[in-house]
Structure 1
Amino acid sequence: MTIIVVEVIEMASDDVWTEKYRPKTLDEVIGQEQIVRRLKSYVKTGNLPHLLFSGPPGVGKTACAVALAKDMFGDTWQNNFTELNASDERGIDVVRNNIKNFARTAPLGDARFKIIFLDEADALTSDAQSALRRTMERYTATCRFIISCNYSSKIIEPIQSRCAVYRFGPLGPKDIETMARRIEKGEGIKITKDGLDAIIYVARGDMRRAVNALQSASTVSKDITAEAVYETTSTARPKEIEEMLKLALNGQFMDSRNKLDDLLIKYGLSGSDIIDQIYASMFSLGLDEDVLVALVDRIGEADFRLTEGGNERIQVEALLAHFKMHGEAMKK
């Protein structure tokens, strides 16, 4: 029984496109050109300061860290590079034991130092971060740290001051298209124009989300269309969201509410998903700037209430009610 489980896991991991198409070198990294250029300069000099990578998920932080280690250490990179995920082990004991034991040992081969990649470091407790700053100072002769986080504000100032900070931004449509075409060629699939637009819309600057959406759609058909992308990712079409908002703005609140019910049943969306798509679609409605400001403020409030545990249906319907009220005010 154990052997069967292991074989299934290995087969599944071979088919995960996010891993299959992960960059092997810095030259293969898509987007973040300025950051990649600066990282290449470290490879040329053979030296490296402590680094802090900050930015939203799926924009290349882990890819850059692994590619940097491969370019810098060559064939011995696995012996001189370790990756820890702070969201799994976030206490002070991890810093005092796992990290410290790796940092204090000498690098192997011709490497001048080892690299510890600490992913999702904003999940570390404040005590663990305080212990980490001392470890970073003490073992600089044998080890460098690459710290990755979504929010740099959650990293204590003493650690930030010890690192060269790199802020990653969301990837652009051209970056998503480049990866999609690379996968299209490698997997022998066909991505239609509307299918590519759908992948870019679903991704919202997150390459990991884009690749997963593409793989999910490919299980339905080798021809990747918008319909396949939206159905397999449980994402409503932008036009359907816009239609719901226009109904509310025109004073047809009950029709807008019925449209919301259709979307929830058809796509199985959560309240947060609906609010995210409302925010993305409202700027194409041609509303006055003052109205946009008021509605964005209301969207932010609804999003906060959902985060705090508010009822999803009530919050989304209340948001549609605000669209109706502002639509009537515009008519006057």
Structure 2
Amino acid sequence: MTEVVSLMDIDDDDNAGDRSAKPINKGKSGAAPSDGKATPWVEKYRPQSLADVAAHRDIIDTIDRLTSENRLPHLLLYGPPGTGKTSTILAVARKLYGAQYHNMILELNASDDRGIDVVRQQIQDFASTQSFSFGVKASVKLVLLDEADAMTKDAQFALRRVIEKYTKNTRFSLICNNVNKIIPALQSRCTRFRFAPLDPVHVNERLKHVIEAEGLDVSESGLTAFVRLSNGDMRKALNILQSTHMASKKITEEEVYLCTGNPLPKDIEQISYWLLNESFAESFKQISNMKGRKGLALVDIVREVTMFVFKIKMPSDARVQLINDLADIEYRLSFGCNDKLQLGSLIASFTKARASLVAAAK
């Protein structure tokens, strides 16, 4: 889904300037990594061109067309982590600048460089200088601000003015997870693209490519586990794949869950059985024993049980109430509330749901 706010044609004027000015690159590196065994697969298999980006073809095709027509606007790419935002804009930069890539972009991670001084010094200095770059397809430079939602409000207001002042020779690309933290004045100056969580089909295809390239032995159930645990986050999927490979030569579903510390599906089925059929005391005892024996986190159990609730046949109002109760428990656990108290709340929530099931059956 794309939301086009404004388009600004790239000026065709020849821009004079200082070729010696080189950008300071921080945050995620755009350089092609080496193929050494120590290279994180997230970087080793990062898309090098727009055609390699796993999903969001509508967005990619739109940006590709604007780039080819020298009509690239300021960009605001937002959405959950691991959905291809940074990879997309780095691929755009490679297409625009080729071998001059590192001389034409300033890459900053706004979670580290988030104050107004960065805007007034590094960004403004880079944007205000013009460069001779021979052999590139565009005469404008590119400022890439990753995690822009971490910038202070003062820095964002200062950036707004910089964007206006240096549009002729510089384009700005803002990347963030939470677009609501970007001030409206910045949003209105950018073309916005939302990157949704990746479809399981695209995650599956990319993982198969990496598995084949690395010569891994992965079972079908293991591949399904990777896709399920990634939740549409390609970075997470690749990190889990690499860490599981380091722990085991033969990658099965069980190995994936053991490596990540997530409860196995069969464990969740067993816990759900206790919650729906056993007494409060028995459920508390059995779940506590399993937590201790397998080293499971209650927050992971609650999250997985919530997904299991959708498979249970029960009245819709009872399902909604149970899911809300589980969300409250997960929220309290995120603030470090006592595990035993929250386990009691979990069992009590299912006790109420069980009463609704019995009443509906009658």
TM-score under structure 2 length normalisation:
0.83
**Secondary structure at the residue paired with 2:80?**
coil
Q: Which residue of 2 aligns with 1:147?
A: 174
Q: Following superposition of structure 1 onto structure 2, how do residues 144-223 of structure 1 map, counting pairs within 5 Å?
A: 144-223=171-250
**Which AA in structure 2 matches 1:38?**
T
User: What is the root-mean-square deviation of aligned Cα atoms in Å?
Assistant: 2.1
Aligned to 1:265: 292
Once the two structures are superposed, residues 232-271 of structure 1 have per-residue CA deviations (whole angstroms, 9 ceiling, x without a partner) of 1111112322321232122433343344334533554444
Shift in CA distance, 197/266, structure 1 to aligned 2, threshold 3 Å: farther
Is 1:287 paired with 2:314?
Answer: yes
Partner of 1:5: none
Percent identity between matched residues is 38
Alignment of 1:7-156 (within 5 A): 14-109=38-133, 110=136, 111-156=138-183
Deviation at 1:328, TM superposition (A): 2.2
Q: What is the DSSP-based 3-state SS (H/G/I as helix, E as strand, rest coil) of the residue aligned with 1:133?
A: helix
Are residues 207 and 254 of structure 1, via their aligned partners in 2, closer, same or farther at CA, if it must alter by over 3 Å? farther
- Runs in 1 of length 4+ with deviation above 6 angstroms? 10-13
**1:102 is aligned with what amino acid?**
F
Higher relative contact order (CA 8 A, sep 6+): 2
The alignment partner of 2:103 has SS state of: coil
Q: Distance in 2 between matches of 1:299 and 1:272?
A: 10
Report the count of equivalent residues: 323
Equivalent position to 2:330, from 279, 297, 303 = 303
Change over 3 Å in CA distance of 1:179–1:330 after alignment to 2: same
TM-score by length of 1: 0.90
Contact kept? 1:121, 1:155, Cα under 8 Å: yes
Cα displacement (A) at 1:167: 0.5
Q: Say whether the 8 Å CA contact 1:250–1:324 is kept in structure 2.
A: no
Please tell me the residue identity of whatever aligns with 2:104: N
Structure 1 residues 258 and 12, CA, compared in 2 at 3 Å: closer, same or farther? farther
Select which of 232, 236, 241 maps to 2:263. Answer: 236
Using the alignment, how far apart are the partners of 2:290 and 2:169 within structure 1? 56
Structure label with greater radius of gyration:
2
Structure 2 residue runs of 5 or longer lacking an equivalent are 1-33
Q: Which amino acid aligns with 1:43?
A: T
Contact 1:90/1:128 (<8 A) preserved: yes
Query: Relative to total residues, which structure has the larger helix share, 1 or 2?
Result: 1
Distance 1:314 1:30, change over 3 A: same
Letter in 1 for 2:51: D
Partner of 1:6: none
